[in-house]
Structure 1
Amino acid sequence: MEKNHVFDQIPDYLDGNLNKSAKTAFEKHVNQCADCQKEMEEMKMFFNLFEEEVPTPSNRLRAKFESALEREKSNQGKVVHMSGKKSSNWTASTLKIAASFALLVAAFQLGSLFQQRKVSDDIVQLQDEANQMKQTAMLSLMENQSASKRIQGVNYIEEFEQPDEAIIQALANRLLYDENDNVRMTAFEALANFSSSETVKNAFIEALGQEKNPSIQVAIIQALVQIQEKKAAEPMKKLLEKEDTQPFIKNQIRAVLPSIT
């Protein structure tokens, strides 16, 4: 439920209106979701505005108000003495005004809260659209007839902190099938940053069995040894058996093979 936020359940949760199972699921999600945690804290602040007591006006403030009111009534030609009952009504009116003001402030804050959420959603949407454009440009460049353009496309990987499977697979295809040595080496270097991916591991193992460029062979061997990929042992043994495998490659394999078998 990482992406399925529970914003709409927060008021019911704070009011205690969720049943036991819904409450458990809600709390489990909020404990794992920073966005929902922030949303609930802001909603709590909003609810607290209605729970706070409005302070009773001080005697000094009341006296000033009564004095000003008496003067206003005198100016109108009527004199009305304020009794204890009138004072009580004044306090009630003041409390109503204060409560209305608190409600106005709370409504403003709630409007700001929802506006901030809308802005955040808009930013996320714009970021997603920008990433889609970058991905389209990257994949298009990697299919270009020019080797330099394909290298440029591979280097676009720097624009993605967490590339999706489509990008990883496109890079793997460059490593496995590109006719240009420089493109394959660049693709390998890009994939090496995501060596925990099963797609990347499998691509390295497959490439090791078919790669002819000694520099790329050495780089792949070192990467597979570094991540202790035991499935790489078989293609390494096959390279030892091939007559056209460079002697220094065989020496490299003999030196590292025991560490992964």
Structure 2
Amino acid sequence: MNCKEIKHLITDYHDNNLDQTTKILVEEHIENCLTCTQIYQEFIHLIDIINQVQEELPDKDLELNFENILAKEKLAFKTSKSTVLKPKSKVLRSMLQVAATILLMISCYLLGNYKDNVSKAKEIATLKQEKTEMQTIATLSLMENESASKRLQAVSYAKAITKPDSKILKVLIIKMNNDKYTNVRLAAANALAKFAENTKVRQALVKALETEENANMQIELIQILVDIEEKRAIPTMKKLLQNTETPTYVKDQINSELKQII
């Protein structure tokens, strides 16, 4: 049994829907093929992400500073062991089948199973696009999780997407403006900074500073807007300087940064 055959069986193998003989063949292949072993592990992890439906209480770590939380979430993501969960619907099952197929087909290409270079280039481009779409689905699902730490994790995933679509950018903007936890809002703003070449993202960052009342968010937005040299934010920064309710440390930040874009 080869990698191309495995890709059609991996979901049924995971769901224990194969006859005993086929199951043993798949099992032996995965155990002896390093590529398919790695891909099956990624497949399990994808299931774990999409099935994040358990409501969790906010972590105590949410009271720690923003950078420490992000670091912890990234470490937890890298070292966590996936829990095998059953797909909850035919739609989810179909999504997982697509994900498994994508991952296995990419490996087959990398192994040189397809020799037509022109066709191969087109297929790889398509597979990369489909993989990004699956990442988007998983990220959007986690964004709505009740656990703030899971939403932080979703923001981290979104930031890792090279070219996020409008849905990802929209949900990041919503989280930046409306999430009930400041750390999630800070993370979303930080992620949006990576995509500041997008006009709508820049506009959202400027608008956010105009209405923001949280001092920590104000400082983060000021830093981002200065870093991306967004001059449309200058009037808002000057208003904050004149506002008697603006904390001194926020004004100090503005005075320190404003001269860089004037």
- Please give the TM-score of this superposition, normalised by the length of structure 1: 0.51
Aligned residue pair count? 150
C-alpha distance in 2, partners of 1:229/1:170? 22
Give the aligned residue type for 1:175: M
Q: Which SS does the other structure have where 1:150 is aligned?
A: helix
Structure 1 residue 259 displacement after superposition: 4.2
- Equivalent residue, structure 2, for 1:257: 258
Distance 1:131-1:258 versus aligned 2 partners, 3 A rule: closer
Local SS of the residue matching 1:161:
coil
Going from structure 1 to structure 2, the CA distance change for 1:254 and 1:144 (only over 3 Å counts) comes to same
Alignment partners' CA distance in 1, 2:218 and 2:192? 14
Deviations for 1:124-162, whole angstroms, at most 9, x for unmatched residues? 332222111111111121122221121111111244222
Give the helix-richer structure, 1 or 2.
1
What is the deviation of 1:183? 0.3
What amino acid is aligned across from residue 117 of structure 2 in structure 1? Q
2:229–2:261 CA contact under 8 A, matched in 1: yes
Aligned to 2:32: none
Measured in 1, the distance between the counterparts of 2:159 and 2:169 equals: 13
- 1:1-261 matches, cutoff 5 A: 115-261=116-262
Instruction: State the shift of 1:258 in Å.
Output: 4.3
Measured against aligned partners, the alpha-carbon deviations of 1:61-96 in whole angstroms (never above 9, x if no partner) come to xxxxxxxxxxxxxxxxxxxxxxxxxxxxxxxxxxxx
Task: Report the identity percentage.
Answer: 39
Q: Please, what TM-score do these two structures have when normalized by structure 2?
A: 0.51
Distance 1:255 1:116 in 2: 54
CA offsets, 1:193-252, max 9 Å, x none? Answer: 222222222121112122233222112112212222111012112222333211111222
- Greater Rg by CA: 1
Q: Letter of the aligned partner of 1:194 in structure 2?
A: F
CA distance in 2, matches of 1:200, 1:140: 21
Whether the 8 Å contact between 2:159 and 2:194 is mirrored in structure 1 is no
Distance 1:123 1:222 in 2: 38
Aligned Cα RMSD in Å? 2.4
Q: Tell me, what secondary structure is at the counterpart of 1:240?
A: helix
Q: Kindly tell me: are residues 146 and 232 of structure 1, through their superposed partners in 2, closer, same or farther at Cα, counting changes over 3 Å?
A: same
Contact in 2 for aligned 1:169/1:199 (Cα 8 Å): no
SS of 1:195's partner is coil
Letter in 2 for 1:198: T
Residues in 2 aligned to 1:127 and 1:255: alpha-carbon distance in whole angstroms: 43
- C-alpha distance in 1 between matches for 2:213 and 2:197: 25
**1:188 partner amino acid:** A
* CA distance in 2: counterparts of 1:225 and 1:159, whole angstroms: 22
Amino acid at match of 1:132: E
Q: Which runs of 5+ in 1 are unaligned?
A: 1-112
SS at match of 1:212: coil
Displacement, 1:164? Answer: 2.5
User: Partners of 1:257 and 1:116 in 2: how far apart?
Assistant: 52
The one-letter code matched in structure 2 to 1:254 is: N
